[in-house]
Amino acid sequence: MNRSKSEALFAAAQKLIPGGVNSPVRAYRSVGGTPPFIARGDGSRIYDVDGNEYIDYVLSWGPLILGHRPPQVIEALREVLEIGTSFGAPTEREVDLAALICECVPSIEMVRLVSSGTEATMSALRVARGFTGRDLTIKFEGCYHGHVDSLLVKAGSGMATLGIADTAGVPESFAATTIALPFNSIEAVEIAFRERGDKIAAVIVEPVVGNMGCVPPRDGFLKALRDLTAKYGALLIFDEVMTGFRLALGGAQELYGIKADLTTLGKIVGGGLPLAAYGGRADIMSKVAPLGPIYQAGTLSGNPLAVSAGIAVLGYLKAHPEVYETIEKRTAQLTANIPEGITVNRVGSMFTFFFTTDPVVDWESAKRCDTARFKQFFHWMLDRGIYFAPSQFEAGFVSTSHSEQDIARTVDTAKEFFERADCQSAAGYQPAPHLPQLE
């Protein structure tokens, strides 16, 4: 597959942008090779600057549940372009989106719009500390909640991909406010609360983890978090930036029947534009400025372009709940037909192929994956027009625009990889370090 234009652009980009990318995981550091520079997207497809076509299972890391350029979103954006792009003042659309969010996620009684998932989790954490008057947070190893200083402790996603346990630049005093525990370990949470329960402001969790790869909660784990936080007067924060509107209209909360005190949303809620949100119980959210003493602000919060895209997507999902059954069925077709020899985790239309034969239930088990074989698989698929996340520690997504033919072609291409003799071990098929070519 010729990627000469991407290579030239990548070389130019690296002179101007750290690593040539505006978010680390895009740089292909853990899989090697040149990241395709994307020229356009349409439905389930993206096309790079060299004209190569791919079936896209990254979907901008989750937001594009309706695929690329869904007509509803394009039309909504066109309408807004006629009236302006940003006012820095309240608009009717923000009230409409707030109402939609509160309707879809019953635990959210009041909501504040922000511009990124990181902003949402950072704000939710500050609100939890302000509301409880406590400083400590429990998070789980392998979970990623954006690049919030105090949460970049044993985080997943790009940090797991790059093998960075803890980032530089975060004062020890910040990191010390975070207690990182094994995901799915109720006992570890019980001990933490027994020892320091009166100092813990919140537990923040990806209710279904996407950022160490897709890892579902063990039976009873989320309920235990709900009970323990209530017992000790801490808040339960569900980080549903990835799972919100993805697993169900009401997110993981609807799927598992657990009501969080605060919820963070992102990705789908902005329909592919920069928009995220945090919200929850009115008694908690009423502490947020200008109503209460906890400050949070944002120049482009609630801007009409992003809000209109969010309304278009959420409005469509609300009017067509059957889409969840369709994308879950398509994802099941994809994951059920992957040959033996790897572990597949799937929840709804989120999935990960883990290159291990052991169950993957937490970061300890995820990090034992054979990332060298994942790299071979990744390039095998990429060179045949199947675009997965360039990391073993990310989730894949299916949209309403993925056809049964897309799924069948993906399964067949994966089967070829697993059946080829030289792909049976990491010593086998090796993509060229900078030019993953195949004969």
Active site amino acids: 144, 239, 267
Least distance in Å: CB of 423 to ligand KE4?
26
Give the whole-angstrom CA distance, residue 397 versus residue 209.
13
Q: Which of 36, 266, 280, 396 binds ligand KE4 (CB under 6 A)?
A: 266
The contact mask relative to ligand KE4 for 156-195 (x = CB under 6 A, - = no) is: -xx-------------------------------------
The answer to whether residue 117 forms part of the interface with ligand KE4 (CB under 6 A) is yes
CB 162 within 8 A of CB 21: no
The answer to whether residue 394 forms part of the interface with ligand KE4 (CB under 6 A) is yes
Count of residues that bind ligand KE4 according to CB under 6 A: 21
Give the whole-angstrom CA distance, residue 212 versus residue 165.
13
Least distance in Å: CB of 364 to ligand KE4?
19
The answer to whether residue 272 forms part of the interface with ligand KE4 (CB under 6 A) is no
The answer to whether residue 61 forms part of the interface with ligand KE4 (CB under 6 A) is yes
Closer to ligand KE4 by CB, 77 or 241: give it.
241
Least distance in Å: CB of 151 to ligand KE4?
9
Q: Which of 56, 206, 261, 328 binds ligand KE4 (CB under 6 A)?
A: 206
Which region among 41-49, 204-212, 371-379, 401-409 touches ligand KE4 (by CB under 6 A)?
204-212
The answer to whether residue 401 forms part of the interface with ligand KE4 (CB under 6 A) is no
Closer to ligand KE4 by CB, 24 or 431: give it.
24
Q: Which residues bind ligand KE4 (CB under 6 A)?
A: 23, 25, 61, 116-118, 121, 144-146, 157-158, 206, 210-211, 239, 241-242, 266, 276, 394
